């Protein structure tokens, strides 16, 4: 996968280049310091993915994309988190905050590589499945959440509870409780089972937010999450929880 680094900071480009060395499937075909330089290199090098800063002299990253007839896939790299919503409006693959973390970079590259097929030499190209499985997420992934006119860009590690609320799922993080049009079954398929546990038919908890556990009725468990709430684990899932968490 060929990538182009677009950032006015030489230090930022150097750091990103260093981090990308750990990923042999990635080839850095060029670097650009501003939008004009990036346009020329995009035309010449035809990269698969742009690692794109937002704040640059002259045109910013969004203005660069708007000026392109056909843009490569984009992973934004920026020191500012307030542009997350706009980044997803232009279909960015990911949005990495500086300083870029190795785990977040690896997750972003996984999303990027999923956009392409790289069959082995002599192999026939794979036929895409009609209903591909949802892309798995790590706890370090950031997800875009919109509820009415309010929007958030939140790390999964900061979400302590997913809970059914009518035909929606309610998300618990910080003091916020937004609703999203997703089922728990859909979320369970995407969440890391080592971190998120289906406590019952109504709730999925983040295991790293557990503050205490008590035995409950009929050999079930009650789990207290940090700063609340309390979650009653079903009988079947209580057995599974004991198996998973025991030595």
The pLDDT score that the predictor gives to residue 122 is: 41
> Looking at residue 192, what is its pLDDT?
93
Write down the pLDDT at residue 17.
94
Residue 193 pLDDT: 92
Predicted confidence at residue 90, as pLDDT, reads 65
For the chain, 247 residues long, the average pLDDT of each consecutive 10-residue run is 95 95 94 95 93 92 84 87 69 87 91 67 43 69 83 91 92 94 88 94 96 94 95 95 87
Q: How far apart are CA 120 and CA 131, in angstroms?
A: 23
- Determine phi and psi for 39, rounding to 5 degrees: -60, -45
User: Exposed, middle or buried by CB within 10 Å (0-12, 13-18, 19+), for 32?
Assistant: buried
Work out the angle between the directed axes of helices 10-20 and 102-113 (0-180°, nearest 10): 70
CB 198 within 8 A of CB 204: yes
Residue ranges and CATH numbers for the domains of the chain are: 2-113 (3.40.50.2300), 142-245 (2.40.50.1020)
């Amino acid at each position: 996968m060929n990538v182009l680094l677009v950032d006015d900071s030489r230090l930022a480009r150097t750091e990103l280049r260093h981090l990308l060395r750990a990923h042999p499937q990635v080839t850095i075909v060029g670097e650009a310091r501003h939008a004009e330089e990036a346009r020329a290199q995009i035309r010449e090098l035809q990269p698969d993915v742009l690692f794109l800063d937002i704040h640059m002299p002259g045109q910013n990253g969004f203005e660069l994309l708007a000026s392109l007839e056909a843009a490569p896939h984009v992973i934004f790299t920026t020191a500012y988190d307030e542009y997350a919503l706009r980044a997803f409006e232009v279909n960015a693959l990911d949005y990495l905050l500086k300083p870029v973390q190795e785990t977040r970079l690896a997750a972003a590259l996984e999303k990027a590589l999923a956009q392409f097929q790289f069959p082995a030499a002599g192999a026939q190209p794979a036929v895409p499945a009609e209903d591909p499985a949802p892309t798995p997420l790590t706890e370090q992934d950031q997800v875009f959440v919109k509820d009415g006119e309010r929007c958030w860009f939140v790390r999964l590690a900061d979400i302590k509870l997913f809970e059914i609320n009518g035909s929606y799922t309610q998300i618990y993080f910080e003091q916020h409780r937004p609703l999203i049009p997703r089922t728990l079954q859909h979320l369970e398929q995407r969440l890391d089972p080592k971190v998120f546990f289906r406590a019952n038919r109504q709730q999925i908890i983040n295991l790293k937010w557990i503050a205490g556990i008590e035995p409950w009725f009929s050999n079930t468990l009650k789990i207290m999450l940090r700063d609340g709430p309390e979650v009653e684990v079903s009988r079947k899932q209580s057995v599974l929880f004991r198996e998973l968490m025991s030595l």
